């Protein structure tokens, strides 16, 4: 009878040790499984992106922004300048000018300046060039130009 109890105890002990080992292995592997799933998602997304870029190259898509910035404008006299409404508004506020005064400096109406800042309209390329010329202007120079413009 004693040998039966010892054999039964050994069987139960082996089963319990195996159960605890499986449980511990599962807790150790769960974060790795989650990370692996995330890596697989990332790899799939990158493969899709590479495939899309390959299709774009194969179809002869338009040049990138960097290529456009490096190339001079079609008319050749001045490079193209990007327009941002937020930049226009911040520069006008930095100079402490109203939209009408800033428009007088740029050679447009105050309403145009307001519409450009609000994003309702976008200036033509020639007007963007005029606005770019004003970007380097400080408060004193702006005041001088406004006085000269109103005195005429």
**CATH code of the domain in which 98 resides:** 1.10.260.40
Helices (H), 72-138: 85-95, 99-106, 110-118, 125-134
pLDDT score of 64 more than 90? no
Q: Is 137 left (phi over 0), alpha (psi -120 to 50) or beta?
A: beta
Q: Is residue 112 part of a domain?
A: yes
| pLDDT (0 to 100) of residue 70 | 46
Q: Is residue 101 part of a domain?
A: yes
- Are 140 and 95 found together in one domain? yes
**Is 105 within 8 Å of 146 (Cβ atoms)?**
yes
Instruction: Report the distance separating Cα 102 and Cα 89, nearest Å.
Output: 10
Q: 62 vs 104, which has greater pLDDT?
A: 104
- Are 55 and 104 found together in one domain? no
User: Across residues 33-57, what is the average pLDDT?
Assistant: 93
| pLDDT (0 to 100) of residue 73 | 46
Q: What is the mean pLDDT of the chain?
A: 83
Q: Is residue 68 part of a domain?
A: no
Q: Is residue 119 part of a domain?
A: yes
| Furthest CA-CA distance within the chain | 123
Q: Is residue 73 part of a domain?
A: no
- Are 87 and 57 found together in one domain? no
Domain enclosing residue 105, as ranges = 81-151
Instruction: Report the distance separating Cα 72 and Cα 76, nearest Å.
Output: 6
Q: Is residue 66 part of a domain?
A: no
Residue 137's φ and ψ, nearest 5 degrees, are -80, 140
Q: What is the pLDDT of residues 138-148, one digit of tens each?
A: 888 888 888 88
Q: What is the pLDDT of residues 66-116, one digit of tens each?
A: 555 444 444 455 667 778 888 888 888 898 999 899 888 888 998 999 899
Contacts of 118 (CB under 8 A, 6+ apart): 85
Q: Name the domain count of the chain.
A: 2
- Are 106 and 57 found together in one domain? no
Domain end position, chosen among 31, 61, 91: 61
- 3-class DSSP state for residue 123? coil
């Amino acid at each position: 009878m004693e040998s039966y109890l010892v054999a039964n105890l050994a069987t139960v002990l082996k089963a319990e040790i195996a159960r605890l080992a499986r449980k511990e292995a599962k807790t150790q592997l769960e974060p790795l499984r989650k990370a692996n799933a995330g890596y697989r998602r990332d790899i799939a997304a990158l493969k899709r992106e590479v495939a899309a870029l390959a299709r774009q190259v194969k179809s002869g898509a338009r040049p990138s922004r960097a290529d456009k910035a490096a190339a001079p404008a079609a008319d050749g006299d001045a490079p193209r300048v990007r327009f941002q409404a937020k930049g226009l508004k911040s520069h006008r506020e930095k100079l402490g000018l109203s939209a009408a005064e800033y428009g007088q400096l740029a050679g447009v109406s105050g309403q145009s300046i307001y519409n450009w800042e609000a994003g309702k309209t976008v200036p033509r390329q020639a007007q963007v060039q005029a606005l770019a010329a004003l970007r380097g202007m400080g408060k004193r120079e702006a005041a001088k130009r406004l006085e000269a413009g109103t005195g005429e």
